[in-house]
Amino acid sequence: MVRVLGVDPGTESFGLCCLEGGEMAWEEELPTADLGDEPDRLREHLAARGPYELICGPSGYGLPWRLARDLEEDDIRLAALVRPGDTGSGGIGAFTRVLRNLARLPWPVVLVPGVAHLATVPSHRKVNRIDMGTADKVCVAALAVADWARRTGRPYAAARLVVVEVGAAFTAVIGVEGGCIVDGLGGSSGAPGFRCGGAMDAEAAYWLGSVSKATVFSGGVYRVAGQPDPDWRGFLDAITSGAAPDRYRLAWDWWLEGIEKAVAAVAVNVGEPREVVLSGRVGLEPPVARALAERLRRYGGVAELRPRARAKAAAEGAAVIADGLAGGRYAGLVEAMRLREAGGTVLDHLYYG
């Protein structure tokens, strides 16, 4: 019986999901900040609950099917997408330290590709693009296809979806046509998120003079709202109370409209979506889900992707992919999505300079 593990390195927490024979064996969330301070903790925790035939580990912007044990420093830098000398943010630091530690596990830990690595995305859509969706968004899309096929009784290859992943930091929109990922707008290239302002005006980047990773991960809802302490729950409570400050309303309207624009853009390459699928820690919060459903139903029926138990969708999606790669229940999903054909790097399609 195939036993696999999926890991999602989120901004707030690392999600862990173990599948055995395609069924949930166990799942858990660990605070990202704790793992950054104690990078051995996750490896020791997973080792105590093994064995696993395959682990889809933390992958950042993605490295197509590279084993963690074979990674060199340049590979890790590409996965984190941090320039030499830029320490990035706390989340990135935790990601790189944990990845190095997981490479020491006795079972294979593989890195998942991002959207820009996928052969199913036409080359012309990748021109001057990097963040079309990080590896965890590929995992969410895989889970959305699997869930849609289960609910409808249709084959994976019939899936035509727009997947909207709204997390506690970033928002990404992924397009699925014929069961394959064909387009995407990642957290730093499309819709705004709570921490990230989404696509940046090139003139704004020029005016800032120097754009660090911290800059890329700023300008989101928290900043627009002028929220002194980043707290998405407090923000939503203020919005639903009807007594939110004007800056909160400004941020709310900007955020929702930005998500709709991203969905409209991706839907161009999906034809007529059978469904718009909402996902993510924040995206499934009732006030957000209601507001997005009202805006997005014009693009197709709106469904919610709710992972089993408490597992994060990206962690469960990573486990589903691991199961498929290992020849388990979801082998047909991996083949239908043509995930094995991924290759290259996220820098291959840049034409600036």
350 in a structural domain? no
347 in a structural domain? no
Q: Considering its fold, how many domains does the chain have in total?
A: 1
DSSP for residue 124: G
102 in a structural domain? yes
Domain that holds residue 273: 3-341
66 in a structural domain? yes
Partnered with residue 15 across adjacent β-strands are: 8, 29
Per-residue pLDDT of the chain (353 residues; tens, 9 = 90+): 899 999 998 777 889 999 999 999 999 988 877 776 776 888 888 899 989 999 999 899 999 999 999 998 889 889 988 887 776 554 566 777 888 888 889 999 999 999 999 999 999 999 999 999 999 999 999 999 999 999 999 999 999 999 999 999 999 999 999 999 999 999 999 999 999 999 999 999 999 988 888 898 899 999 999 998 889 999 999 999 988 999 999 999 999 999 999 999 999 999 899 999 999 999 999 999 999 999 999 999 999 998 876 778 999 999 999 999 999 999 999 999 999 999 999 999 999 98
Distance CA 16, CA 347 (A): 29
| Overall residue count recorded for the chain in this entry | 353
120 in a structural domain? yes
CATH number at residue 236: 3.30.420.40
Distance CA 287, CA 57 (A): 32
Identify the residue whose tokens are 């997408």. Answer: 81
229 in a structural domain? yes
pTM of the model: 0.95
